[in-house]
Amino acid sequence: MHASYSKPRVIIVKPRKAMRAEEAAEFLDIGMSTLYRYARNKIIPGRKIGSDWRFSRLALEKWLNPEVKEENE
* Phi and psi torsions of 51, nearest 5°: -100, 0
Total domains, the chain: 1
**Measured CA distances, 16 to 13, 26, 33, 38, 50 (Å):** 9, 16, 24, 22, 19
Burial of 65 (0-12, 13-18, 19+ CB in 10 A): exposed
Q: 61 with 54: CB under 8 angstroms?
A: no
- Per the prediction, the chain carries an average pLDDT of 84
- Classify residue 29: in a domain, yes or no: yes
Q: Please name every residue paired with 53 in a beta bridge, in sequence order, or none if there are none.
A: 48
Range of the domain at 27: 18-64
Residue 67 confidence (pLDDT): 80
Report the range out of 8-12, 27-31, 59-63 with the highest average pLDDT. 27-31
- Residues of the chain with pLDDT > 70, as a percent, come to 70
Q: What percent of the chain has pLDDT over 90?
A: 62
Residue pair 46/24 in contact (Cβ under 8 Å)? The answer is yes
Residue 70 belongs to some domain of the structure: no
Q: Looking at the domain assignment, is residue 33 inside a domain?
A: yes
- Residue at 9 is within a domain: no
